[in-house]
Amino acid sequence: MVGYDPKEDGRSNSKFEVAVAGSVSGLTTRALISPLDVIKIRFQLQIERLSRSDPNAKYYGILQAGRQILQEEGPAAFWKGHIPAQLLSIGYGTVQVYKTLQDAVVTMYRTEGPLVFYKGLTPTLIAIFPYAGLQFSCYSSLKHVYEWVMPANRKHSENLKNLLCGCGAGVISKTLTYPLDLFKKRLQVGGFEQARATFGQVRRYRGLLDCTKQILQEEGAQGFFKGLSPSLLKAALSTGLVFFWYELVCNFFHCLKRTDS
Q: Is the pLDDT of residue 139 over 60?
A: yes
Q: What is the pLDDT of residue 230?
A: 92
Q: Residue 234's closest CA among 151, 161, 174?
A: 174
Positive or negative torsion for Cα 88, 90, 95, 101: negative
Q: Which residue has the higher pLDDT, 223 or 102?
A: 223
Instruction: List Cα–Cα distances, 74 to 34, 77, 91, in angstroms.
Output: 14, 6, 22
Instruction: List Cα–Cα distances, 2 to 21, 25, 61, 65, in angstroms.
Output: 11, 13, 35, 34
DSSP-derived 3-state class of residue 71: helix
Helices (H), 46-114: 62-73, 82-86, 92-95, 101-112
Q: How many Å is the Cα radius of gyration of the chain?
A: 20
CA separation for the pair 142, 139 (Å, rounded)? 5
**pTM over the 0.75 mark:** no
CA separation for the pair 95, 116 (Å, rounded)? 12
Q: Residue 36's closest CA among 93, 78, 67?
A: 78
Query: What one-letter code names the amino acid at 10?
Result: G
Mean pLDDT of 81-108: 57
Q: Is the pLDDT of residue 246 over 90?
A: no
Instruction: List Cα–Cα distances, 86 to 162, 195, 212, in angstroms.
Output: 23, 23, 28
Q: What is the pLDDT of residue 100?
A: 60
Q: Is the pLDDT of residue 61 over 80?
A: yes
Q: Residue 242's closest CA among 21, 54, 58?
A: 21
Q: Which of 7-16, 144-153, 240-249 comes out lowest in average pLDDT?
A: 7-16
Burial of 195-214, coded b for 16+ CB within 10 Å and e otherwise, reads bbeebbebbebeebeebbeb
CA separation for the pair 26, 1 (Å, rounded)? 9
Q: What is the pLDDT of residue 91?
A: 36
DSSP result, 170-184? HHHHHHHHHHHHHHH
pLDDT-derived band at 235 (thresholds 50, 70, 90) equals: confident
Half-sphere exposure of 154 (CA within 13 A, CB side): 6
